[in-house]
Amino acid sequence: MLILGIESSCDETAAAVVEDGRKILSNVIASQAQEHMQYGGVVPELASRRHCENILPVVDKALKDAGISLEDVDGIAVTYAPGLIGALLVGVSFAKGLAMMADKPLIPVHHTEGHAAANYLAHAGLKPPYLGLIVSGGHTRIAEILDYTTFRTVGKTRDDAAGECFDKCARAMGFPYPGGLHVDRAAQRGDASAFRLPKSKMDGNPYDFSFSGLKTYVVNLLHHAEQVHESVNTDDLAASLQKDIADTLTEKTIAAAKALGYTQIGLSGGVSANSGVRSALEQACRENGFTLYMPPIALCGDNAAMIAAQGYYNYLAGITADESLNAMASKELRGESVQQA
Ligand code: KG4
Ligand code: ZN
């Protein structure tokens, strides 16, 4: 079964064709990151306009690269939530029009569920149930992936996502947008024990996260140093920040896996490209005898292949939509209310 996936939730216009949820036939991404860089972050209005310009050529290329025509497609999967509303609307409107015109099923995909599905494209042996750690610029969540379409949140961030923390600290350190990658590179030159950074302490759910305190601490440290004309070794600060985030993500995920009896862990989302996060979780999984699944770096960030992969499983589960499908800036995962207070 061939699914065409479309993704436009942030600053990547993407389309891909995936066979049976597992095999990538094409994967096209038009990134706007270069353009948003001069503003230090994504400018939503600009993102929407670029999506409008890019979507037709990107979808066209995805079909051509796969060597198929629209008639060969069995369903059209699209990210409908969460994300920048104007950006999402471009993909959703385009997918609706395409599905109607070609008389194909329209399949709504939640962006976070899509990130988790990136692992299906790289690991033929991965099958639910397993524990997912999904970490991106907008989300940080530990979820039980009970079957391909049933997610139950175990813990999530109460404020900033880990990616947001990376990006805002990176900006204060003088790195260009998107900063996570630059922190990662600087961290490889730095000493992670140089700074003692705070760890969040919270009441309630032990698997929840909080990264805003860490972000504020790092930003204040840099601003203070600037005011008193002191220099900060950003390689050391980046290494310390990365270790703090990687350790927190790892400790909570391993604790949740032990408590819930999971031995398979799937890491995904933009921050899963981080070398510190990958190696910390890899080491902890090895020590505990767990199997860790991670996407290749190219499938960690936003792409449409992961949307097509999740779209395949949604379609098999009967999750389709009609022309009333709307984009939503925020939307909980299916089954969310089961676990959350
Ligand atoms: O999944 P994604 O592409 O978009 C969202 O759904 O948010 O994730 C983007 C986030 C950004 O915060 C970016 O800085 C971060 O992933 N990121 C990284 C790395 N590569 C991307 N963070 C740390 N280290 C990296 N190597
Ligand atoms: Zn994403």
Domain boundaries, the chain: 2-116+300-316, 127-297
**pLDDT at 339 (0 to 100):** 38
Q: Residue 27 is encoded by which pair of tokens?
A: 């994967």
Q: Residue 67 is encoded by which pair of tokens?
A: 């060597």
**pLDDT at 200 (0 to 100):** 85
**pLDDT at 332 (0 to 100):** 85
Task: Please determine whether the domains at 2-116+300-316 and 127-297 fall in the same fold group of CATH.
Answer: yes
CATH topology of domain 127-297: Nucleotidyltransferase; domain 5 (3.30.420)
Tally of residues, the chain: 341
**pLDDT at 30 (0 to 100):** 96
**pLDDT at 340 (0 to 100):** 34
Q: Estimate the crossing angle of helix 180-187 against helix 162-172, to 10 degrees.
A: 70
Report the C-alpha gap between 120 and 264 in whole angstroms. 13
Report the C-alpha gap between 300 and 9 in whole angstroms. 15
3-state class of 290 per DSSP?
coil
Q: Report mean pLDDT in 10-residue bins for the chain, 341 residues.
A: 98 98 98 91 94 98 98 98 97 98 98 98 97 96 97 97 97 95 98 95 95 98 98 98 98 98 98 98 98 98 98 98 96 60 29
Q: Which 8-state DSSP code applies to residue 292?
A: E
**pLDDT at 336 (0 to 100):** 60
**Residue 271 Cβ contacting ligand 1 at under 6 Å:** yes
CATH for 2-116+300-316 is 3.30.420.40
Q: Is 40 left (phi over 0), alpha (psi -120 to 50) or beta?
A: left
- Contact call for residues 212 and 162 (beta carbons, < 8 A): no
**pLDDT at 341 (0 to 100):** 29
Of 136, 156, 242, 275, the one to substitute when testing ligand 1's pocket (max ligand atoms within 8 A of C-beta) is 136
**Residue 113 Cβ contacting ligand 1 at under 6 Å:** no
**pLDDT at 195 (0 to 100):** 98
**pLDDT at 333 (0 to 100):** 82
The number of the ligand 1 atom at minimal distance from the alpha carbon of 275 is 26
Strands ordered across the beta sheet of 140-147 = 150-156, 140-147, 130-135, 264-268, 291-293
